[in-house]
């Protein structure tokens, strides 16, 4: 801790961060957000003010064009992306607009269409609302998890454990497990998620697009794509979701985001499907900055959320932790 504090003193008080920004000025940043709470507005404003003073925000479409060689990027170029398409993006939109920060939302097509919850929220709802103090969850035949639900802390841990286990399953098996999850918990899962878990509607997405926000696709149902074995299902999640979104939005959808986004979660079949579907770019959750020779279908990102401190956010943006 002493060494860390000393290093931060050098970085923030003695010119270290400006030097890093100069060293990495020819690399572009793609920021990754998921959700926003109204209480985090001041924190987000501070981050946006820092970005405006030290970086050059550009739309994702400009980055895609630069990767094709059709245009150039300014030094320290940066763009903002937001995964999942939760309605609470509206808390951030006014801030991004105030600071002239181009943003891209990756909507889950089936979520915005009102056909499904995000499956992670489905799990959390069941485990947080059950009256049971413990559940034996058979994740796979012969493989069960003993979930302790005796305290708020243990319930939170149980949610994380089930998420992690389900991400490793073949997609068909995950779907079967979720189909019976409400009964397992003794909870009736309502047709719509709670207010804080709602999706942006098509009308809201169209209004945001008219206000300069780019709308990208985050699949139809948010599966782990490397766990989807049926080629026709993979095509529907990637190309089919794009076609549905374009019909609802009445505009082109050029950008894609891989759910979970690690190399192990993507797979070459999904990347090829994204290419064939005609997307101009796609993003991963692989951590880091990008060079202009980057693969436009495997861009790296920097993880942020509404609570990221300005001190740590400035370090991420400068490229300190890459």
- 287 CB-near residues (< 8 Å, 6+ apart): 300, 301, 302, 303, 321, 322
pLDDT digits (tens, 9 = 90+) for 33-45: 999 998 899 999 9
Q: How many domains does the chain have?
A: 2
**In which domain, by residue range, is 128 found?**
119-185
Do the Cβ atoms of 287 and 303 come closer than 8 Å?
A: yes
For 186, left (φ over 0), alpha (ψ -120 to 50), or beta?
Answer: left
**β 299-303/214-217 pair status:** unpaired
Whether the per-residue pLDDT at 15 is higher than 80: the answer is no
Instruction: Establish if 190 belongs to a structural domain.
Output: no
Are residues 44 and 27 located together in one domain of the fold? yes
Are residues 159 and 84 located together in one domain of the fold? no
Whether the per-residue pLDDT at 322 is higher than 80: the answer is no
Are residues 38 and 179 located together in one domain of the fold? no
Are residues 223 and 272 located together in one domain of the fold? yes
pTM of the model: 0.93
**Which of 185, 204, 227 is a domain's end point?**
185
pLDDT class of 314 with cuts at 50, 70, 90? very high
Are residues 111 and 241 located together in one domain of the fold? yes
pLDDT digits (tens, 9 = 90+) for 245-267: 999 999 999 999 999 999 999 99
Cβ density class 89-127: b for 16+ within 10 Å, e for less: bebbbebbeebebbbbbbbbbbbbbeebbbbbbbbbbbb
Are residues 150 and 257 located together in one domain of the fold? no
pLDDT class of 321 with cuts at 50, 70, 90? confident
pLDDT class of 296 with cuts at 50, 70, 90? very high
**Which of 158, 185, 212 is a domain's end point?**
185
pLDDT digits (tens, 9 = 90+) for 178-224: 999 999 999 999 999 999 999 999 999 999 999 999 999 999 999 99
Are residues 102 and 238 located together in one domain of the fold? yes
Instruction: Establish if 33 belongs to a structural domain.
Output: yes
Q: Which helix (H) or strand (E) holds 296?
A: none
- Residue 240's CB is within 10 A of a number of other CB atoms, namely 18
> Higher confidence at residue 19 or residue 232?
232
Measured N-to-C along each axis, helices 90-98 and 41-54 cross at an angle, to the nearest 10 degrees, of: 30
Are residues 235 and 313 located together in one domain of the fold? yes
**Which of 166, 185, 204 is a domain's end point?**
185
Angstrom CA distances, 61 to 102, 229, 279, stand at 10, 31, 11
pLDDT digits (tens, 9 = 90+) for 67-94: 999 999 999 999 999 999 999 999 999 9
């Amino acid at each position: 801790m002493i060494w860390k504090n000393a290093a931060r003193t050098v970085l923030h008080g003695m010119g270290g961060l400006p030097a890093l920004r100069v060293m990495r000025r020819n690399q572009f940043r793609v920021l990754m957000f998921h959700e926003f709470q109204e209480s985090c507005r001041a924190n987000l404003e501070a981050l946006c003010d820092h970005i405006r003073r030290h970086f050059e925000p550009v739309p994702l479409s400009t980055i895609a064009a630069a990767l094709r060689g059709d245009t150039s990027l300014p030094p320290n170029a940066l763009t903002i992306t937001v995964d999942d398409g939760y309605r609470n993006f509206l808390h951030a939109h006014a801030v991004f607009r105030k600071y002239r920060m181009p943003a891209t939302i990756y909507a889950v097509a089936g979520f915005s269409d009102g056909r499904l919850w995000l499956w992670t929220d489905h799990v959390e709802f069941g485990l947080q609302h059950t009256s049971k103090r413990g559940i034996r969850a058979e994740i796979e035949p012969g493989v069960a998890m003993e979930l302790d639900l005796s305290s708020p802390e243990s319930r939170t841990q149980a949610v994380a454990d089930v998420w992690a286990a389900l991400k490793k399953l073949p997609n068909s098996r995950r779907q079967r497990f979720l189909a019976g999850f409400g009964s397992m918990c003794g909870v009736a899962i309502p047709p719509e998620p709670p207010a804080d878990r709602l999706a942006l509607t098509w009308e809201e997405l169209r209004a945001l697009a008219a206000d300069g926000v780019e709308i990208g696709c985050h699949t139809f149902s948010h599966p782990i794509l490397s766990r989807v074995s049926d080629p026709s299902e993979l095509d529907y999640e990637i190309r089919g979701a794009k076609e549905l979104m374009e019909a609802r939005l009445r505009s082109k959808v050029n950008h894609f985001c891989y759910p979970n986004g690690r190399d192990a979660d993507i797979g070459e079949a999904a990347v090829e499907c994204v290419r064939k579907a005609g997307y101009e770019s796609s993003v991963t959750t692989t951590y880091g900055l990008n060079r202009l020779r980057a693969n436009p279908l495997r861009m790296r990102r920097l993880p942020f959320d509404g609570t990221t401190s300005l001190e740590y956010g400035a370090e991420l943006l400068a490229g300190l932790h890459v």
